[in-house]
Structure 1
Amino acid sequence: MLKTYSLTTDTLLVSSESDIKNSSVVYVYGDEREYIESFEHKYDLKIGNILTFDDQVAYDTMIDRNDEKNFLVSFLFPKIHEGGHLDNLTTSVVFLVFKNKLIIFTNQKLNSISELLSNMVLRDINNFTEEVLLKIMQKDFYAMLNDLRGIKEKIDDLDSKISTSGPLRPTFGDLLTLQKYMIALSSTYKANHKELDFIKKNFTTIDDIDFSTKKIIDDLYDTSDTMDRIILGYSQYLDNLENMINNMISYQLNMIMKTLTEISIILTIPAIIFGFWGINVDVPFEKSSYGFFAVLIISVILSLICWFWLRRKKY
């Protein structure tokens, strides 16, 4: 699918899809192989591969026939899915930045991009492609930050489950899923940071770029650093939860072994007593009609004394 936008004075307006050549911004999503391949052949790019393998960013400088410098920039947009599955966790967003045209590619439609482009008011008309790209990244980075903060609720729920129910099997599954999230998101943010460095290096050297556009770059860095700090804090907290679960399991295992040991010691006492009274020599109560009950009572009393002693013993 294609959505096109034209720059009118200082505002982007939705335009006819048939007028792609005169459009200022083109958003391409879904199965548009023919359109993508035309740019791949023209500029010797691998846009399809970048969109397919959504685990890396790409950035490059292109020089056209008029010696104009153009850019290929992509970043990864992670989305936390409901249900805990990690399939298609990230979506690659690819930008082709020309002097007077911006083309955006995604495999699936991102409503945040189309909503932002509609009636977008621009301040830096001379470099509107750079401003549009940065504003899209800014909005997506804010969405990423909000999603990341939402994981705290999942961590709190996991903490509550551990406190109330102990280390059950579902708890391990939730912990493993969250740890996978942290690993995937951490690698995604690191990749996006490299792309930010490329943008800062090339965009801030433009002579007539507006100051507000540079401020957006600084804001993107601040947001990226905030996400890195949150990821680090969440990862450390999950590691502590894992250690706590392991300690709880060890404690439960120790208590089970302690109980089994106490039972073994208690059962050893009547076994020894019955063994003594079973030897083929004269023993007390041998000729008494109540001898069996006497031996049994003695065994029970000694076993109870041993049990009380073990329960009072702190070890």
Structure 2
Amino acid sequence: MINEIALNHGIQLIDVHSTESLNDDDRAILIEKYNLTNEILDYADDENERARFEYDEITNTYLIVYNVQNENEQTPDMSQRVLPISFAIREQKLFLFTNDATHYIKDYLISAKNHLKQTDQHEVWEFIFNTLDQISSDYSDQISEADVRRNRIQTLIKKHHSSEKQILELADLEDLTTYLNTAINGNLTVVKQLELISSGNVQDLHLNKTSREHLHDSLIEIEQIKNQVDLSSDIIDRISNTYNNILNNRTNTTMKVLTIYTIVLSIPTIVSGFYGMNMKLPVADQGWSWIFSLIITVVIILVILWDLHRRDSL
């Protein structure tokens, strides 16, 4: 579905919203009416496309593929928590390619003029940079939520209330931060490329001073978020390793206790087995022989326990 929305000062938003992928009718309209190329549409329509910045010299069209979060934060498939969207910029037209899970980005573009100065609202790139800032803020919020979950798990581990549920939740957090880290690194590469191109004479991207400063601020913000997700991911990995060490230590302790019990409980069996044999044994014919066997059993058990304690094995 294609909707045309007037943003401001002659800037037009072409909202291309697909449930799954572009249908043939929408693709034909974008090619015939708006002069977009099949190559650009293929990039924009690929749900597995990595973050990138492209420029088509023939049609003078810029393409930005950018990673954003899935609107459904509860989706069980971690690989779908981060999805690509695409911006295509041609003259004063801004094309936005989204699906059902990422269509909320349209609201960021529409509301961008509320955050821009009146003099900046005629710059199409200002709408994009403002939207990138909103996307970065979403990532920061997601990382903060992951940190809250991590702290809760860490508290439970310290209180020895850990369980299989915490193990699975830690695994989910590790997967989540991995996908977030990959997405943020891709976005950072795109913004760095934009700043590099805008500061030189390569390609036809000329930004005014305000837009260049805005782009630089966006770059700094993404770098801060990258550091934030790197730190969060590192801490989660450390907690996971600590948790594994705790579980291994518990297993070793359990096996140690079971081994000691096995050794101790085998002594009565050995002693009584000797006196159960059909052969002549010392004091076996006495009435107090069973007491004697108990004394031997207890003495052997005490000697073994003393020897284990001497070796620091208890």
Offset at residue 246 of structure 1 (A): 2.1
Q: Secondary structure at the match of 1:123?
A: helix
Q: Cα 1:8–1:125, aligned 2, differ >3 Å: closer, same or farther?
A: closer
TM-score w.r.t. structure 1 length?
0.81
Instruction: Using the aligned pairs only, state the percent identity.
Output: 16
Q: Residue 195 in 1 paired to residue 190 in 2?
A: yes
Offset at residue 208 of structure 1 (A): 6.5
Offset at residue 227 of structure 1 (A): 1.8
Alignment: residue pair count: 299
Partners of 1:157 and 1:304 in 2: CA distance: 45
Q: Secondary structure at the match of 2:39?
A: coil
Q: Secondary structure at the match of 1:289?
A: coil
State the partner residue of 1:50.
44
Partners of 1:102 and 1:77 in 2: CA distance: 18
Partners of 2:7 and 2:252 in 1: CA distance: 71
Partners of 1:90 and 1:7 in 2: CA distance: 27
State the partner residue of 1:98.
90
State the partner residue of 1:13.
none
Instruction: For 2:138, give the aligned amino acid.
Output: A
Q: Please, which of 89, 111, 114 is the counterpart of residue 107 of structure 2?
A: 114
The within-5 A match list for 1:10-89 is 24-31=12-19, 33=23, 34-39=25-30, 42=35, 43-64=37-58, 69-79=60-70, 81-82=73-74, 85-89=77-81
Instruction: For 1:58, give the aligned amino acid.
Output: R
Q: Secondary structure at the match of 2:119?
A: coil
Q: Deviations over 1:248-304 (max 9, x none)?
A: 122112212211221232134334433443456543432323322442354245435
State the partner residue of 2:261.
263
Q: Secondary structure at the match of 2:243?
A: helix
State the partner residue of 1:124.
120
Judge conservation of contact 1:94–1:104 (CA < 8 Å) in 2: yes
Judge conservation of contact 1:130–1:203 (CA < 8 Å) in 2: no
Partners of 1:310 and 1:166 in 2: CA distance: 31
Partners of 1:145 and 1:37 in 2: CA distance: 38
Q: Residue 273 in 1 paired to residue 274 in 2?
A: no
State the partner residue of 1:152.
147
Q: Secondary structure at the match of 2:146?
A: helix
Judge conservation of contact 2:79–2:179 (CA < 8 Å) in 1: no
* Unpaired segments ≥5 residues, structure 2: none
Offset at residue 84 of structure 1 (A): 5.2
Instruction: For 1:94, give the aligned amino acid.
Output: S
State the partner residue of 2:220.
222
Partners of 2:80 and 2:237 in 1: CA distance: 25
The within-5 A match list for 1:166-181 is 168-181=163-176
Q: Cα 1:119–1:250, aligned 2, differ >3 Å: closer, same or farther?
A: closer
Partners of 1:266 and 1:119 in 2: CA distance: 76
Partners of 2:76 and 2:156 in 1: CA distance: 16
Instruction: For 1:136, give the aligned amino acid.
Output: T
Partners of 1:2 and 1:75 in 2: CA distance: 20
Judge conservation of contact 2:6–2:12 (CA < 8 Å) in 1: yes
TM-score w.r.t. structure 2 length?
0.81
State the partner residue of 2:243.
245
Q: Secondary structure at the match of 2:73?
A: coil
Judge conservation of contact 2:15–2:96 (CA < 8 Å) in 1: yes
Q: Cα 1:7–1:263, aligned 2, differ >3 Å: closer, same or farther?
A: closer
Q: Deviations over 1:39-85 (max 9, x none)?
A: 357423242553332351232212346xxx33111211124823654
Partners of 1:71 and 1:230 in 2: CA distance: 30
Q: Cα 1:314–1:139, aligned 2, differ >3 Å: closer, same or farther?
A: same
After superposing on structure 2, the runs of 4+ consecutive aligned residues of structure 1 that deviate more than 6 Å are none
Instruction: For 1:82, give the aligned amino acid.
Output: Q
* Unpaired segments ≥5 residues, structure 1: 10-21
Q: Cα 1:99–1:23, aligned 2, differ >3 Å: closer, same or farther?
A: closer
Instruction: For 1:155, give the aligned amino acid.
Output: R
Offset at residue 313 of structure 1 (A): 5.9
